[in-house]
Each structure stands twice: as C-alpha cells, then as structure tokens.
Structure 1
Amino acid sequence: MFKQFRYIFLVIFIASFSVAQAQRDTLSQEVEVTKAYKPTISDANKLNSMPTIEETEHQKPTFNYNINSVPVFSTFSVNPLKAATIETTKPTTSTGYGLVRAGVGSYFKPYGEVFFNNVNSKNSVFGIHAKHLSSFGNIKLVGGDKVDAPFMKNEIEMFLKYMFQNSVLSVNLDYKNDAFNYYGYPLNAVPEALLEDDQTINYFGTKQAFNKGGFKIALKNPTAEMDEAAFGFNFDYNYFGTKTDQREHFANFTANIRQPFQIGVGLLDAGVQYTMADKITPRSDSVVGNRSQTWLFAKPAWYIGNETANLKVGVNAWFIMESDEDSQAKITPNIRGNWAPVKEIINIYAGIDGNYQSNHYSKVAYENPFVNPDHDLKNTFEKIRFYGGFDGKLSNKTNFKVSAEYSIIDDQAFYYLNETYYYNAAYNPAPLIVDNTFAVLYDNMNRLKLNAEVFHASSDKLDLLASVNYYSYKLDEQTEAWNMPVWDANLSIGYKVNEQLSLSADIFLIGQRKALIIEEASLFSSSGPLYKSNNLDTVFDLNVKGNYQITSKFSVFAQLNNFGFQKYQKWFGYPVQSFNFLAGVSYAF
C-alpha cells in the first residue's frame, strides 16, 4: 500500500509543480488538445481552411502493447481536434507535403516512418502513412533464462477525403503486420523439455504473425447542427490472418440518422455486423472448426433541449445469430442528461446505458497477443452502467474532467495460465510445465471506476496532461479480477526550450495486479485443480524524448524508453525490454 501511494504522490507532486510554474505565464490563449502527427481531417463544427503539415514534437503516447517498452493502458480522454477546413483561395506559399523519419536504437532496433499529405486541392486531401519498427534483441525472464524476443511492426495506410457541399466522404485503405515470438515463461527457469528443438508441448519459442488489411468508407456532415437533418454511414471490412493459420472476416455497416421534429430531435444509429473465424476451437465443440456471428443492432433515441441543458432518452438493442449457439437478443437503456450552469466553463452530466461487446477473434488477438491462438471467447454484456461527472475549464489554459461510473457486467473474460504434468519416458519424475499462452475463464463482475484528468498549456512553451483512475471489482466466483489493476495513472509533460529544442516526458504508473496459474490435477491425485495467485508488481515507466530543429526542414530526435529500468510485465511471464533508446533524423519536404 505504501508503494502505491508513493507512486501516486509522485505524479500529483510533479503535476502540481508544473502547473504552478506554468501559471506564471500571463499570455491568454485558447488551447485545444492535439494528437500525434498524422495527416488527417478531424471532426469539427465549421469548415473554412485546409489543414497544413507540421512535425509534431510532443506526441500523445501510443498504448498498443509491444515487446519493447511502451505504455500498456490508455486512460486519458483526449478532446477531438477541430476540423480541417476549406479555404476559398489557394495559399500563396507551399505548406509542404510530408515528413520522413528514420532511426536506430538499442536491442538492434531499426525504425522508419513516412507521412505524405497532398493538400493542394481545394476540395480533397490525399495522404499516405507508412511505418516500420522492429527489434532483434534478447530479454531475461524472471526465472533467469535469456530468450529471443524479436518483434516487427509494419503498417501502411492510404486515405482520401473529399468535401462537397456540407459533407465529407472519406476512404481509407490500410494494412499492418505484427510479428513476434511466444517468448515468455513465468516465475521459474524454463523447463528442459521446452528448450528442445521443435518441441510441441506448448507454444514456447514459436513464431507468430498477425496480418490485417481492409478498407473503410464513411460519409458524414460535420457542419450540421443538432436541429438539422443529417445522414451519415460507416462501412468497414477487415481480413485478419495469423501465422498459426487462423483467419477472420469482419464487416460492419452503421447508418447514422438525425431528424428534427416540432418538439425534439430523433436519433438513430443502426446497422449490421458479420464476423467469421476459421481454424479455431469453438466453445461448444472440442474439434477445430469455424464460427460465424451476425449482429443486427439499433440505437434509437429522442433528444430535447439546447446547448445549456439537454436530455437524450433511448435504448440500445442487439439481435445476435451465431453458427454454434441459439440466437439471442439484448437490450439496455440509453439515457444521458447534460447541464452547463456556466457555458463553456463547466458541464455536468449523468446517464444510464449499457453495451454488448463483440469479442471477435482479431479484437481479442490484439488485446492479448499471447492468448492461445485457437481461442473463441464469449461476448461480454455490460447489462447496465451508471455514470456521471463534470468537466470544463479552470482557465483558458486548463481543462479538467472528474467522473465516476458503476457497471454490472456478465461474462467478463479473464486470462490465466494452465500448469500440467508432462508425462514422458525421458523425464522422471514428470515435470510440471506451465503453458505460455493464455486460456480464458469467465465471471460476472460489478466494477466501480473513478477518474480525474487535467490538461494544461502555458502559451507555446509548456503542455501538461495528467490522469488518475481508481477501480474496485466485485465478482461472483473468482477471488480476484485477474490482470486488472486497482489504479493507474499517467503524466505527460512537453516543454519547448527554444525555437530549436523541444523536450517531453511521459510517466506511466499501474498498480499491483494479480495473475493466475491453474495447476491441473495429476493422474495420481484425487484432488481438483489448484488455483495459484501471483503478484504483478507496480509498473513505473518513464520515457523522455527530445527533438532539435537544425533547419526548417531538417531535425534530429532521440528518445529514452523505460528510464525507470523496470522489466515490468504486461502479461504474466512476458517482461518488456528494460531501458532502451531510439535516435534518428527527420526531414520535412
């Protein structure tokens, strides 16, 4: 408990000191939270000028888990960017087309990234983004073994946004490849049997790769006010495949309709989703096969009020048809009220809703890449969620949010590791061997979440973003909410020293978690499975970045990752790289 409060106090102290220093700046300036450099057009209220490309020095952290040191949870709800807008005349000076970044780092890590964005057209934007990051280093496990833990990430995206009248039509094509090893093993030294060439006991040392490609077509009207009729849609298709031969097709179509009436506005989000996964082990059968699901959903609602006070009342409804189970229907309320006692300064909100979550194959694979490759998870039903809070501005430079929510959830998935005896004539006595891919168990859960967030910016010099979450869990059967933290926090600070030099730091903290190993009963024992609870230590991850602008087009950068020198584990048995660095050059063209 003392260690947890020590970490929380560190975040609060640094945040308080930084805000105090920033408040000395007397400039008055509106601040919008921005995301990492990416040529794109965001949602907004008005359209009147085209976007420009600039190299972003301080980027919002990426929270996807990799073997290298990266943050593992996303907690801050970043405000949306204002929209890219359309000018009536072309600019007289060139704003540039893109950016090239390249570098190398420790753990034999090459990196390259390209952004291209053509904004010379009056009504359209075309762009390409490509990235490569890989590592070929070793990692030392808790049991003392040094193991190969390479990974590779490749991605490419092409997008087109075309603006006509008051609507924006967007088309995205993307492909990404994630390759890695099942390199982990918990607690003890890796058993001798797993070190043999071509062992088939479990997936230890096996190579895996995820390949995902698809497209998205969307139409929306970002200028329409709430009391104006509007229509939009999203259509997504993705194909996902693995090196272990699993395949998935995913398609989703959603229509968004808004129609004003004499009293109030009618809202409807409705559509269909289809998923089909092959070469998995369905829960209803032990034979490898396939599973398909077709979802029909509708979320009608009625909205009344204005910008100062408004109320939305509706329902969320799903009808699910599955290939290996009976069809089922789910429904939850969808109610939210907002009141702004001081417009644009403070907003108070509260609501009741729920969600039926599709745990389709690729979603689970990206959530936990070390889950057993032939997994087939139940869908999770958040039967009801009560939430409320308030957000607003402490000043023109400081935004804040405080919120609380309480959810009642059925079939929450929890990951654990199996431990079994390996009976083989070459080994006497038979060794106990832990699988290094995760199985899944389920329980019903009530969850309380408390959240506080602050964003502060002082002119063009200092940005500060802080977030703290606290969680409490109550389960029907399990003694712990396996792998889920009691609290987490993050603090990001960006400081522009001068026109050439920019620095930033990110601190990520995750409270202690519990991980589970289930020892299966032996052939000579009459007792049942043995549940073994294990502690995952508090995570402290410090990352420091710097960028030096040599000319208007040429710059150099460096980043120090996991400066806390902690080999923390996102998933039990899988430590991340300890302190590592990446350095390189950037060229804007």
Structure 2
Amino acid sequence: MNPGIYFSNHSTDMKPSIKISNITTALIAALLLTCSATRSYAQGINEQVTVTAAFEPAIPESGKLSISPSPDETVVKLPVMTYAVKPLQMETTLKPDNITPVKLVGEPVKKLYRNYARVGFGNYTTPYAEFFANSLRSKTYSFGVHLKHLSSSGKIKDYAKSSNSLNLVEVNGQKYTENHTISAGAGYRRNVAHHYGFIPAETDYEYNEDSLKQRFNRLNLSAGIRSNYTEPDQLNHRLGVSFSSISDLFETRESLISIDTRLDKRFELFDLTEYQVLGLDANLRFTGYKDSTLKQKSSIITLKPSISTEFEEYRLLLGLDFSVQVDSASKVYLFPYAEAQVRALEDAIVITAGITGGLTRKGFDNLSDVNPFIQSILPLRYTRERFTFYAGARARAGKYIDLSASFSTSSVENEGFFINDPAAQLLNRFTLVYNDGNVMKGRFEAGYHTGERIRIKAFAAFEKWSLTNDEKPWHRPVSSFGAEGTYDIQKKIVVKAGFITNGKQYAKLPSPDRSGDYLTRTVKGYTDINLGVEYRYTKLLSAFLNISNLTGSRYYLWYNYPAYRFRIMGGVSYSF
C-alpha cells in the first residue's frame, strides 16, 4: 500500500489518522502544515480528500570546516617583591592565681613502748618468762635486750627423767652514721637436757640421774660495719667479726672465730648492659676443738670473686668459690657458681635458677643444737657439696596470695647422719656416721593475708636420699607439711591455729649381742596440732592460752625419745 494521508470530517467529531512511513518523516512534516490550512476551511463539508505522491529523499552536500585552534600565549612578568619585618614587642601582663597548698595528712605515728614482758605457766611444771627492752625511734642508734627462761620438770610415763631448761640473754645495738652502720652484739645461752631415751623397767643397767644430765653453755660476741651509700658508683663494703664458744658437762669445748667481708662496685666493662658489678667475698673460719680424748685445730679460708649484671627484667651472676681446708693436711677446692633470675609482671613473678657448691665443717655447736642428745665425743669432719643445681619461683596472685616453690639436687661427700651410739649401754645417746650420696629436696609454700586480720601459711617439703654405703638416711624425715593461721577479731581477740606433720624416718641400731651387726627400725610419723587464743584487755595488757599436741598422741622426735603429750600454758603479757 502506498503511503498517504487520510482526512475524515464529521459534524460532531473529527479525528485525523496518520500513517507515516519510516523513510518519509521529513516530507510529512511539510504537508501537515499545508493540510492544516485547508482543513480549517472545510469544516461543515462532509467530503474526503486523498493526496498521493512519490517521495524522493535527498541529502544536500555540506562543507566541513577545517579549523585548528591554537592557544594564545600570554607572558606574565612578576614584579620583584621587596619587604621588611619590623619586630614589635607585644606587651603582656601575668597575674597568677593563688594556689592553695596541698595538705598531706599522714597516718598518726604509732606509739612505741620500750618494754614488753610475758609470763606464763603450763602443765609438766613448765614456768615461762620472757622480756624485751628496746630503744624508741631514733635516726642515730638502736639498742635492745632480750631475756628468756623456759623449763619443764614433768615426767613422761615409763621413761627416765626428762627435765629440760633454756635460759637466754641477748644484747645488741646499732649506730647509724651518714654512710655506715656499725653493729655489735653479745649473747649467752644455757641449755639443760637429760638423756631419757630408754625405759628403766626394761634394763638391768645401774645408773643415776646425774649421769643422764647434759648442760650446754654457749657464748657469742659479734661486731661489724657496713656501708649504706646512696650513690651507685661507690665502693660498697662490709666487715664482720664474730666469736662463739660452747662447753658441756663432759669436758668438750669448741671455739669458733669467724671473719666475713665483702667488697663490690659498679663498672661499665662492656656495652651489652648498662653496668656490671664486680664483687669479692672473703671468709675465714678458725675452729679450736677439745674433748676428753682429742684436741685439734682447723680452718677454712674461702675467696669468692663474682660478676653480676642486670638487663631489663633479667639478672645474671657468675663466680668461683676457692675454698682451702687447713688442718693436718691442706686441701684446695674449686666450686663454680652461677645464678640467673627473671622478673615478670612488675616483679609479681620471679624465677631463679643456678648452680653452687661449697665446703663446710660439722661442728659440735651446730650438731648439739640440732640434737641435744648427742655424745660429747664425736667424729667431726668436713662436708663437701660437690654441686647443687637449684631452681625456684615466687609469685603474687593478686593482693592477698603469695606463692613460692623451690627444688634442688645435690651431690654430697661426707654428709653426717645421727645413729644411736653402740658405745652407750642404754642406747640413749647419738653419734655420727658419714656417707656420700645424692639428695633431692623440694619445698612449696603458700600464704594468704588480708592486712592484719587474717594470715594463713602452708608448706609441703620432701627430702629423698640415695646413699653409697647405707640404705637409709638415718633420722631424716622423708616428707613434712603443715599450716598455721591467725585470725584477729576486732583487734580484741586473736586466734591462732596450726599443725605440722612429719613423715616416717629410720633409725640404725646395733644388734642386741653387739656383734657389729646393725638393725633398721622405723620411727613413725606424727602430727602435732596446736591452738592459741589471746585476749587483749587493753592495748598494753593481754592474756593468752596456748595448747600443743592437742590430740595428746605419743610421737617420737628421735628413736626412743617421745615428746610430751597434751601441753597447755596460760599467761599474761604487758607493754610499758
């Protein structure tokens, strides 16, 4: 169908209909303008007009503009700027405000009293008295006196007389100067014991009570000086001299002169750490010993140079121990020692590990202090600790809990162990046997405290020996543990409680026929529970009641040496 335009006229409505070809758009636009004029005059006539024509599209030629734009070049000349700065002083005024000074309100200084006395009395006819006298606060000196008496004359069922006593006098003082502290002290201690470790009804041996008595008189004197510089680059020094002596009822005497000194100073020897400390410890111990059969003199000279340093949370110590044994034959020993320490979490955790060794002498003084039932004639030897590896840690868990643990393993030569002396007819005295071996020791402690109101401490320890010549470490408990606590009720009533448990130990006894053979006996372990109450009537006057071995059990401290059963003591204390 050819393209065209159709018009239709009606009296009431006129609707155009337009058909547009895709290729005739331009021509239709022109025809519409013409038809619009014709259509305006045809109103009212009912007729149809049809226009038909051929369409020939054409595109006229156009000329392309060839224009290349070029930028306009503009030259701008900057003027030379000249200027000058004229300093002007700004006038200011300062009017400071008044600052109210800070008032430091300190805690009131607690009043001190020069004297403190305690007296009491307990079962087994046990009188007790103790007295302390001390100087008050002073920046230039301090002085103190300590007196004590404790004795018991009670009996232990089935056993021989077991009376014992302790008398003690101690005096000490210190003088403080700008850079030094000078100290001096003296003391006297008198111990009386009886060798009651047998049952009279089971022996035919005749004895008297005076032959069972033993008395130790101890005297000690000491003096020393040490520096307390505040500047870190000073030569720190310490010197101490002491004298001690002991005698008993059976003509045994021992005297010890000891000189101890230390020097140390900071240096900057290498750049790995900020500073290093060089130190030197020197010790001389001269011992004179005499009993009813023997007289001897011996000495130990020790030099211990060391170097230590710190870096951040680490601390390191290295040194050598030169020990010389001087008696009938001189010997020289060398023991290296070292220690490393790490502190973490602001010293909340401290870990230490190291190695050490040394030379000591088993003396009559310290042996009789451990076991008052020993013989007066003893084989005294040097003990050499070949090496000891040790490690330990302590920690704070919050504000109220303290923890610590330690472990060590050692190789020891000539370690002394107590056995019942086969030369004693009643087997009621002890002598020493020496042995080589290895030992492992461990200890754990825990503490809880909330100020002064509640304090609790607990511990557990073990000691395991492996000996060369004996199967057991005689009279050494394998394990021990215990705890103690204090509860302060409104600073008026103080309650104390605790216990200690020692594991079993072993005793070495001669055979009944004294043929040279020995028997092994087991000393059972025990638990001792104690309880104490103190009532503070005033800040100066209080009363106390202490109970030991609360269960009243019979246990043995040494083979055939039972302790007192249920013990109770009451008394008063006063400060003035």
TM over 0.5: yes
Partner of 1:304: 309
- 2:335 maps to which of 332, 337, 340: 332
1:189, distance to aligned residue in structure 2 (A):
4.8
Q: Is the 8 A contact 2:159 2:196 kept in 1?
A: no
Matched, 1:184 2:189: no
Partner of 2:557: 570
Task: Give the partner amino acid of 2:524.
Answer: D
Task: Give the partner amino acid of 1:304.
Answer: T
1:418, distance to aligned residue in structure 2 (A):
3.9
Partner of 1:106: 123
1:122, distance to aligned residue in structure 2 (A):
3.1
Partner of 2:205: 193
Distance of 2:234 and 2:339 partners within structure 1:
20
Partner of 1:544: 531
- 2:464 maps to which of 450, 472, 478: 472
- 2:323 maps to which of 318, 321, 327: 318
Distance of 1:307 and 1:556 partners within structure 2:
51
Query: Structure 1 residues 504, 93: CA separation in 2 closer, same or farther (over 3 Å shift)?
Result: closer
Matched, 1:266 2:284: no
Distance of 1:173 and 1:469 partners within structure 2:
34
1:506, distance to aligned residue in structure 2 (A):
2.1
Query: Structure 1 residues 267, 107: CA separation in 2 closer, same or farther (over 3 Å shift)?
Result: same
Matched, 1:162 2:195: no
Task: Give the partner amino acid of 2:204.
Answer: E
Matched, 1:212 2:224: no
- 1:399 maps to which of 388, 392, 402: 402
In the TM superposition, 1:144-155 aligns within 5 A as: 145-155=158-168
Task: Give the partner amino acid of 1:95.
Answer: L
Matched, 1:234 2:247: no
Q: Is the 8 A contact 2:379 2:432 kept in 1?
A: no
Query: Structure 1 residues 190, 377: CA separation in 2 closer, same or farther (over 3 Å shift)?
Result: farther
Q: Is the 8 A contact 1:520 1:529 kept in 2?
A: no
Partner of 1:51: none
1:185, distance to aligned residue in structure 2 (A):
2.0
What is the DSSP-based 3-state SS (H/G/I as helix, E as strand, rest coil) of the residue aligned with 1:483?
Answer: coil
In the TM superposition, 1:518-557 aligns within 5 A as: 518-519=510-511, 529-557=516-544
Q: Is the 8 A contact 1:417 1:434 kept in 2?
A: no
Partner of 1:385: 388
Please report the TM-score for the alignment, with normalisation by the length of structure 2: 0.77
Distance of 1:170 and 1:117 partners within structure 2:
15
Distance of 1:390 and 1:227 partners within structure 2:
30
Backbone CA RMSD of aligned residues: 2.1
Structure 1 residues 480-514: Cα deviation after superposition (integer angstroms, max 9, x where no partner):
11111111112111111222100111211111111
Distance of 1:395 and 1:417 partners within structure 2:
49
Query: Structure 1 residues 494, 318: CA separation in 2 closer, same or farther (over 3 Å shift)?
Result: same
- 1:355 maps to which of 349, 353, 358: 358
Please report the TM-score for the alignment, with normalisation by the length of structure 1: 0.75
Q: Is the 8 A contact 2:419 2:507 kept in 1?
A: yes
1:564, distance to aligned residue in structure 2 (A):
2.9
Q: Is the 8 A contact 1:361 1:376 kept in 2?
A: no
Distance of 2:444 and 2:370 partners within structure 1:
24
Distance of 2:573 and 2:501 partners within structure 1:
30
Query: Structure 1 residues 418, 173: CA separation in 2 closer, same or farther (over 3 Å shift)?
Result: closer
Distance of 2:421 and 2:240 partners within structure 1:
41
What is the DSSP-based 3-state SS (H/G/I as helix, E as strand, rest coil) of the residue aligned with 2:564?
Answer: coil
Q: Is the 8 A contact 1:132 1:153 kept in 2?
A: yes
Task: Give the partner amino acid of 2:314.
Answer: A
Q: Is the 8 A contact 2:237 2:264 kept in 1?
A: yes
Partner of 2:19: none
Task: Give the partner amino acid of 1:279.
Answer: D
1:581, distance to aligned residue in structure 2 (A):
0.9
Task: Give the partner amino acid of 2:182.
Answer: L
Q: Is the 8 A contact 1:224 1:230 kept in 2?
A: no
Structure 1 residues 210-260: Cα deviation after superposition (integer angstroms, max 9, x where no partner):
111121112223565876531011111012111222111111000011111
Q: Is the 8 A contact 1:418 1:434 kept in 2?
A: no
Query: Structure 1 residues 247, 547: CA separation in 2 closer, same or farther (over 3 Å shift)?
Result: same
What is the DSSP-based 3-state SS (H/G/I as helix, E as strand, rest coil) of the residue aligned with 1:364?
Answer: helix
What is the DSSP-based 3-state SS (H/G/I as helix, E as strand, rest coil) of the residue aligned with 2:358?
Answer: strand
Distance of 1:415 and 1:226 partners within structure 2:
48
Partner of 1:61: none
Partner of 1:17: none
Which piece of structure 1 moves more, 568-577 or 578-587? 568-577
Q: Is the 8 A contact 2:324 2:333 kept in 1?
A: yes
- 1:579 maps to which of 543, 557, 566: 566
In the TM superposition, 1:50-65 aligns within 5 A as: none
Q: Is the 8 A contact 1:241 1:248 kept in 2?
A: yes
1:376, distance to aligned residue in structure 2 (A):
3.0
Can you give the 5+ residue segments of structure 2 that lack an aligned partner in the other structure? 1-107, 270-275
Task: Give the partner amino acid of 1:562.
Answer: N
Partner of 2:441: 449
- 1:291 maps to which of 296, 300, 312: 296
Query: Structure 1 residues 502, 302: CA separation in 2 closer, same or farther (over 3 Å shift)?
Result: same
Distance of 2:498 and 2:361 partners within structure 1:
32
Q: Is the 8 A contact 1:416 1:518 kept in 2?
A: no
Distance of 1:224 and 1:488 partners within structure 2:
43
Structure 1 residues 541-584: Cα deviation after superposition (integer angstroms, max 9, x where no partner):
11111111111211111100111322222211111111111111
Partner of 2:288: 276
Q: Is the 8 A contact 2:291 2:376 kept in 1?
A: no
What is the DSSP-based 3-state SS (H/G/I as helix, E as strand, rest coil) of the residue aligned with 2:469?
Answer: coil
In the TM superposition, 1:502-517 aligns within 5 A as: 502-517=494-509
Distance of 2:394 and 2:109 partners within structure 1:
41
Partner of 2:27: none
Higher CA-based Rg: 2
What is the DSSP-based 3-state SS (H/G/I as helix, E as strand, rest coil) of the residue aligned with 1:558?
Answer: strand
1:111, distance to aligned residue in structure 2 (A):
0.5
1:388, distance to aligned residue in structure 2 (A):
0.8
Task: Give the partner amino acid of 1:475.
Answer: L
Partner of 1:173: 186
Partner of 2:259: 253
Q: Is the 8 A contact 1:99 1:587 kept in 2?
A: yes
Task: Give the partner amino acid of 1:405.
Answer: S
1:99, distance to aligned residue in structure 2 (A):
0.3
Distance of 2:482 and 2:180 partners within structure 1:
37
Distance of 2:495 and 2:152 partners within structure 1:
25
1:409, distance to aligned residue in structure 2 (A):
0.4
Query: Structure 1 residues 225, 316: CA separation in 2 closer, same or farther (over 3 Å shift)?
Result: farther
Partner of 1:425: none
Partner of 1:68: none
Distance of 1:171 and 1:107 partners within structure 2:
38
Distance of 1:179 and 1:98 partners within structure 2:
28
Could you list the runs of 4 or more consecutive aligned residues of structure 1 that deviate by over 6 angstroms after TM superposition? none
- 2:154 maps to which of 119, 124, 137: 137
Structure 1 residues 42-68: Cα deviation after superposition (integer angstroms, max 9, x where no partner):
xxxxxxxxxxxxxxxxxxxxxxxxxxx
Task: Give the partner amino acid of 1:570.
Answer: L
Distance of 2:399 and 2:296 partners within structure 1:
52
What is the DSSP-based 3-state SS (H/G/I as helix, E as strand, rest coil) of the residue aligned with 1:362?
Answer: helix
Q: Which has the higher contact order (CA 8 A, sep 6+)?
A: 1
Distance of 1:305 and 1:226 partners within structure 2:
14
Query: Structure 1 residues 107, 391: CA separation in 2 closer, same or farther (over 3 Å shift)?
Result: same
Task: Give the partner amino acid of 1:331.
Answer: L
Distance of 2:516 and 2:493 partners within structure 1:
58
Query: Structure 1 residues 126, 450: CA separation in 2 closer, same or farther (over 3 Å shift)?
Result: same
What is the DSSP-based 3-state SS (H/G/I as helix, E as strand, rest coil) of the residue aligned with 2:160?
Answer: strand
Q: Is the 8 A contact 1:493 1:504 kept in 2?
A: yes
Distance of 1:346 and 1:498 partners within structure 2:
33
